[in-house]
A and B are shown apart, each in its own frame.
Chain A
Amino acid sequence: MYEPKDIIAILANNVRKTMSPFGIPKSMVNGWWKEESLPRNGETLLVTGLMYQLVPFIETATTWLARYEDAKWAEYLPYSRFVPPRLSGLGLAMITPAEAKRKAAGHLKNIVKAMRASGRRFGYQPELDEYSGILLYDLGDQEGFVRHAKRVAARLKGAGVTSIVTVDPHTTYALKVLYPKYADASFEVRAYFEDLNLSGAHAGETLSIHDPCFYGRYLELSGASRKALGNLGYACADARRSGLFTSCCGGPAESISPKLASRIGAKRVEALGGSGERIVTMCPICLHNLEKAGADVTDLSTVLAGGLKTA
């Protein structure tokens, strides 16, 4: 386990300087939209919060962090303080595989595909799409979170944004619940799968759903994802713990203890694997952590966009 104080200091410093927890320039993180010909304006604004885009960098950073986490010589050398700062900025960007970045971009493109097929009229303005600061909130750096949230909210309000569509549970929770409370900013916030209007015929395939904590419990949205899948003809199987009582994938522990994250992920995979069905989730952190624990997991966006082809 790394020293929380050191990890928080690094992340908070990165967020303050670059608006990103890993200190990587946004131009290197957020390029998926360039091939999508997205309108800038619409009934609502798509705000990704950059979580899907950041996961490839999280994957790389945590692989390195895990290597040194319990090193025997860590008590003799200050490695536990030495490693984390190296895992930021351009260095991290350079060692992160392009394939992982392409995969993350693919999920966002699939979300756009599903929204377009549903006739959603949304705009996208990359300069307004910022990281929400949720990791600082979860780690208890309230001052750092509030300062960042106010910066992000001021930009959105300055651009006249009132309605937002989100793609991941962490950003959705931040914008919908935390920003009104701490950043004096209230928007109408909807997760992308709440307003889909798709249909298809996939009778016969049952999916095993892993509800992310923020969607299943904090935002009580587990019914909406099942409805979107049900409209395409899929049946959904619930794991032993699901919906309001869903069990965590372990991902939130990654910045402090990758090994703890892996242990919790493995337990969750075991619980999800019981039905033998394809596991589906709708959070980039869950996706990454469950995959790392050995599961074959599909993002909801892949299922929705794939369902359209044969609809």
Chain B
Amino acid sequence: MSAVNPAFLDELEAYGENAGALCFNCGTCAAVCPLDGGHFPRKMIRYAQIGAVDRIREESRELWRCLHCGLCTQTCPRGANPGEVILTLKRLFAAEWRKS
């Protein structure tokens, strides 16, 4: 079972502005995303919301498939800025790699 970190979204703010908490999991972002199928980026936003850091880490390569095209952000009905949440997650891991 994966550990969860309820404070993860707050901690993520050190790496960028993000409004992931506003997401109500509707899937509009995944429907418009030009990446092929799947539940990206909705799934990652959900993991971030519940603090499933291990799951994000396991699937972290997926983050770099993101084109940072912003179509998800443009269409998100909640203003949750999913594209920016993905970029912020990339920053988190990239910063860890720099330190390692």
Contact = CB atoms under 8 A, between A and B. Distances in A.
Given A143-B98, A217-B71, A247-B71, A1 B61 contact: yes
B22 interface: no
Interface string B69-100: 11100110000000000010111111101100
Category for how many chain A residues contact B: 20 to 34
Contacts of B92: 140
A139 interface: yes
A3 B15 CA distance: 21
Interface residues of B, number: 27
B64 A248 contact: no
B40 to A, nearest CB: 12
Contacts of B68: 138, 213, 252
A245 B31 CA distance: 13
A141 B94 contact: yes
Contacts of A256: 64-65
Nearest to A245: B74
Contacts, number: 83
A140 B94 contact: yes
Given A263-B36, A264-B34, A245 B87 contact: no
A221 B2 CA distance: 45
B7 interface: no
Contacts of B34: 247-248, 250, 264, 267-268
A248 B91 contact: no
A1 B63 CA distance: 12
Contact of B70 (A1, A3, A213): A213
21 contacts: A1-B65, A4-B64, A9-B97, A140-B63, A141-B94, A142-B95, A213-B70, A217-B70, A218-B70, A244-B74, A245-B75, A247-B34, A248-B69, A250-B34, A250-B67, A251-B67, A252-B69, A253-B67, A260-B36, A260-B65, A268-B34
Given A213-B71, A218-B70, A252-B69, 12 more contacts: A4-B64, A140-B87, A140-B91, A140-B93, A140-B94, A141-B91, A142-B15, A143-B95, A213-B69, A217-B74, A248-B71, A253-B65
| Nearest 8 pairs of A and B residues by beta carbon | A140-B90, A248-B69, A4-B64, A140-B94, A252-B67, A140-B91, A213-B69, A248-B67
